[in-house]
Chains A and B, each alone.
Chain A
Amino acid sequence: MKYVDASAVLRVLFSEEGPFVPMVAGDLLCSSQLIEVETFRAVDRERLIGNLDDETTATKRKELRELLAMLDLVPIDSHVLDRAKNPFPVNVRALDAIHVATAEVIAFEAKIATLEFWTHDNRQATAALCRGLTVRGV
């Protein structure tokens, strides 16, 4: 079981160089439903600043929909919010806290001692690390 944040999905979608999360048959990948908003906003942002033309944007939106449909997605419910509200030893952005809390909920429910948390965002990685998650991708 691997948890992926928006940066991990966007690296695959935009074929960015660097280590990326293995997505092979038999793997279980999961995330927060938050990722749907973050990734579609990022595609829109790239269109707005001229990095994606209309045709490429349409293609990328379709590919993103298909990719997200493959992930297990956890809603931002009270279980997640309760954990996200708990203190972190470092300053953490609210959305980063939601990703970390969601990963913790999955690890707890699945009884997984070492859930891999995939991110390429340094601040997100710090937030996950300081709560004891096994971070990959940075």
Chain B
Amino acid sequence: MKDINVSELKAHLSRYLRMASQGIQIVVKDRDEPIAQIGPPLERAVSWRDRMAREGRLHMGSQDWDKLGVSKLDKKINIQESLDAVREEPHEVRRR
């Protein structure tokens, strides 16, 4: 479920139609008042995500990627080394 205002819908119509086609319900608001809802066709309204979530087989995320905020790091981190250490033997941590 995602709330947007009319101007946001006008500006990014194709983006919200894509979200709706993937099963996300879009509630369109006019001055904070819900006036419409966009979602997949009725026969697909219960999406695979809804079904899996209902069955306890999926925890639905917000998928709010426009709100993603990540700060910059001063230091470079080697992801491969980091993951190898936590997936296999954390040698350097054990030595400490």
A-contact bits for B45-68, CB 8 A (1 contact / 0 none) = 000110110001111111111111
Bits for A7-43, please: 1 = Cβ < 8 Å to B, else 0. Answer: 1001111111100000111111110010000100110
**Smallest CB–CB gap between B74 and chain A, Å?**
8
Flag whether B86 is at the interface (Cβ < 8 A): yes
CB contacts (< 8 Å) of A79 on chain B: these are 57
- Nearest-CB distance from B26 to chain A (Å)? 10
Q: Render A101-128 as a binary contact track against B, CB cut-off 8 A, 1 for contact.
A: 0000000011100000000111000000
Please state if B59 and A73 are interface contacts (CB–CB under 8 Å).
yes
Instruction: State the Cβ distance, A116 to closest chain B Cβ, in Å.
Output: 14
CB < 8 Å neighbour of B49 from A51, A69, A72:
A72
Which residues of the partner chain A approach B15 to less than 8 Å between Cβ atoms? 25-26
Pairwise interchain contact B59-A48, C-beta atoms closer than 8 A: no
Contacting residues of chain A (62-111) with chain B, CB-CB under 8 angstroms: 63, 66-75, 77, 79, 93, 95, 109-111
A73 to B57 Cα, complex, angstroms: 9
Flag B7-29 by CB within 8 Å of A: 1 or 0 each.
Answer: 00000100110110010000000
Residues facing A in B26-41 (CB within 8 A) are none
Q: Which residue of B lies closest to A5 (CB)?
A: B83
Q: Mark B64-86, 1 if CB is under 8 A from A, else 0.
A: 11111111110111111011011
